[in-house]
Structure 1
Amino acid sequence: MEQENQTGLKEFVIVGFPGLLPEYYGLASAVMFLVYFCTLVGNVLFLFLLFKERSLHKPMYYIILNLVISDILFSTTTLPKIIARYWFDAGAISFTACFVQMYFVHYFGTVNAVILLLMAVDRYVAICYPLRYPMVMTNFNVCILSVSTWIISQVGPLMMVIRAYPLPYCASNAIVQCYCDHIAITVLACTDRTPYGFPAFILAMFALLVPLGLIVFSYCAIIVAVLKIASTQSRLKTMSTCSAQLIIIALYFLPRCFVYLASNVGITFSTDLRIAIIMLYSLLPPMINPLIYCLRTAEVKQSLIKRFRGANVDIEKPDVPENQN
């Protein structure tokens, strides 16, 4: 290809943590394999419960379904390669495959941000406009919003890849990161990356801050609505329905905001620490999210208990006295 002739590179090498000593490679690969295994088991278990339990066939859980699928795909896109790098010393990745991975990394990140926004909108309508909720947040409407999310989220990452792929890569092929992302790749280009890096930064900020701003607005409105409830018990019950989502949102957005803010205000820290923070906010939420759904959402918890106990009655089905006639 013309790009390969221009760059002279046939492949990149995933470095991972540059300061990690070789004697800890086995431990690092084992930890990441455990994270990947727990992520798959937890999210697949949630998928199983969702498809088996009719009581979970509701708009909120269909929104969570999209988050679960995105988490599985993101972890599968990123973790196997870095595990192979430390387990089998197989850090090489082809030139084209690296850009494919970059596309999916940013694509699934964008999808996650928008899905978290949909979760906040669902709670906003349910609490602030409860009478309109059955008409607004129908399964059909959620399906349309979800499909739109997966389609529209492709635009930004696709533009980033199209602009970054033809750059001349004639310097080092070592990617100081655990997976191929836009910054880690474009810093290796033998040209001024400003015309390419700044638009990508704007796209990333748009994909992150617009959903975050709307989420903050939604929950501020929710808090105002909750404070108007007279009963303290009702307030606590209402807020408990949002607590699981608030935990997920905090895990996803806060570390990202810290990294972006630190990069733009001149806060510097070691490369290994920066990569560790990126790995935490990239891979910890997909692993923890299923635990949050099960432990903080009563319906999912009850469905899980029902399956383990082998119960064959509906969760919310009331006891009906036998007919004595």
Structure 2
Amino acid sequence: MSVGNISFVRDFIIFGFHGLQPHYYGLVSALLFFVYVCTLLGNAIVFTLFVMTKSFQKPVYYCIINLVVCDVLLSTTILPKIISRYWFQDGTISFLGCFVQMFFVYYLTNVCSYALAVMAIDRYAAICYPLQYHSIMTNRNVLILILGSWVLSLVGPLMIVIRAYPLPYCAENTIIHCYCDHVSITTLACTDRALYGVPALIYALVVLMGSFAIIVFSYFSIFVAVMRISSTGGRMKTFSTCSPQLIIIALYFLPRCFIYLFGNIGINFSTDLRLVIDMMYTLLPPMINPLIYCLRTEEVKTVLRRQFQKKQNGIRKKLDRKVSMQI
């Protein structure tokens, strides 16, 4: 077989955690399955509330639904294959399938970064320019920002995959990761990966730090604006409207910055610890975000209470009918 663009490797094997003993496979697969089910159910509830409640048809909730869709797609891209690896001992993924997964992981990760930046811009406009908010953050403008983030996110991942796909993979095909990661795959190539790894790292940092810079600027401006409010109650109320987004941003960005920072100053982690942190900041936010929306957003809590009371009243009426029929 000739070398060049033709690869000797027909498929890859997603190995997962290198140091995990086989007798823990069932526990790990059950845990990952639980995370996936919770992610689907929680985000489905938020999406259903958005569709059924007219008061949610406004910019801030369009931003939240954008993040919900991105979270579900990202979890669905990663979790089924790694669950299969530990549940059925089937970690094999086709050559093309691996690069398709890699594209969607990076693409959806970028979209999530931009989604959080759009949410920060929305809060910035609401608090710093309250009188102009409804003319600045119209549904149309927010939808343009959201659509723009999905389109803009395509370029980088597409270029990363296009550069990595034709490399000669002619030896090892085991990926020490829970999904097809760019670093893990290009390390397996029978060529110098520096030409391919450095641009990918730079792009990842530009997207991550660019989104993070917008978020930091937005919330710094919000903090300054809030501190000018004379009443303590007004300050607390304003801060409470931002707290859900701040928690989500902390869950999403802080572990990533931690990994990049310590990696660049020469502090290395064990492979398994790095994978645990990677999976935590990739999979925990999609599972926890719906809980944060429901517990920290007053309007969502009010709608949930109303729905719960309606169901309770419906159950009581049914019970009363049964009792009256028996009498």
- Would you say same fold, with TM above 0.5? yes
Matches within 5 A, 1:56-205: 56-205=56-205
Pairwise CA RMSD: 1.5
Are 2:25 and 1:30 equivalent residues in the alignment?
no
Q: How far has the Cα of 1:7 moved from its partner?
A: 2.2
3-state SS of paired residue (1:268): coil
3-state SS of paired residue (1:310): helix
Asked if 1 retains the 8 angstrom alpha-carbon contact of 2:4 and 2:167, the reply is: no
Superimposed CA distance per residue, residues 62-110 of structure 1 (whole angstroms, 9 cap, x where no aligned partner): 0111100000000000000000000001100000000000000000000
Aligned counterparts of 2:263 and 2:167: Cα–Cα separation in 1? 24
Aligned counterparts of 2:81 and 2:304: Cα–Cα separation in 1? 32
Percent identity of equivalent pairs: 60
Aligned counterparts of 2:153 and 2:307: Cα–Cα separation in 1? 35
3-state SS of paired residue (1:12): strand
Aligned counterparts of 2:165 and 2:29: Cα–Cα separation in 1? 29
**Which is worse superposed, 298-307 or 77-86?**
298-307
Asked if 1 retains the 8 angstrom alpha-carbon contact of 2:5 and 2:168, the reply is: no
Amino acid at match of 1:10: R
3-state SS of paired residue (2:198): helix
Aligned counterparts of 1:124 and 1:105: Cα–Cα separation in 2? 29
Aligned counterparts of 2:5 and 2:258: Cα–Cα separation in 1? 39
Superimposed CA distance per residue, residues 145-175 of structure 1 (whole angstroms, 9 cap, x where no aligned partner): 1111111110110010000000111121000
Q: How many residue pairs get matched?
A: 312
TM-score for both structures, normalised by structure 1: 0.94
Asked if 1 retains the 8 angstrom alpha-carbon contact of 2:29 and 2:86, the reply is: yes
Aligned counterparts of 2:2 and 2:114: Cα–Cα separation in 1? 36
Asked if 2 retains the 8 angstrom alpha-carbon contact of 1:117 and 1:214, the reply is: yes
Alpha-carbon distance change, 2 to 296 in structure 1, aligned in 2, over 3 angstroms: farther
1:294 alignment partner in structure 2: 294
Aligned counterparts of 2:192 and 2:151: Cα–Cα separation in 1? 31
TM-score for both structures, normalised by structure 2: 0.93
Aligned counterparts of 2:198 and 2:245: Cα–Cα separation in 1? 32
Amino acid at match of 1:49: L
2:214 alignment partner in structure 1: 214
2:323 alignment partner in structure 1: none
Alpha-carbon distance change, 2 to 95 in structure 1, aligned in 2, over 3 angstroms: farther
Amino acid at match of 1:101: Q
1:257 alignment partner in structure 2: 257
Aligned counterparts of 2:175 and 2:2: Cα–Cα separation in 1? 22
Aligned counterparts of 2:3 and 2:112: Cα–Cα separation in 1? 32
1:270 alignment partner in structure 2: 270
Aligned counterparts of 1:144 and 1:270: Cα–Cα separation in 2? 42
1:227 alignment partner in structure 2: 227
Aligned counterparts of 1:262 and 1:19: Cα–Cα separation in 2? 22
Aligned counterparts of 2:310 and 2:149: Cα–Cα separation in 1? 36
Aligned counterparts of 1:149 and 1:59: Cα–Cα separation in 2? 15
Asked if 2 retains the 8 angstrom alpha-carbon contact of 1:47 and 1:65, the reply is: yes
1:53 alignment partner in structure 2: 53
Asked if 1 retains the 8 angstrom alpha-carbon contact of 2:5 and 2:167, the reply is: no
Asked if 2 retains the 8 angstrom alpha-carbon contact of 1:4 and 1:10, the reply is: no
Matches within 5 A, 1:297-316: 297-310=297-310
3-state SS of paired residue (1:13): strand
Q: How far has the Cα of 1:264 moved from its partner?
A: 1.4
Aligned counterparts of 1:73 and 1:206: Cα–Cα separation in 2? 23
1:318 alignment partner in structure 2: none
**Which is worse superposed, 141-150 or 279-288?**
141-150
Amino acid at match of 1:261: L
3-state SS of paired residue (2:180): coil
Gaps of 5+ in 1: 312-325
Aligned counterparts of 1:183 and 1:67: Cα–Cα separation in 2? 26
Q: How far has the Cα of 1:309 moved from its partner?
A: 2.0
Asked if 1 retains the 8 angstrom alpha-carbon contact of 2:169 and 2:188, the reply is: yes
3-state SS of paired residue (2:188): coil
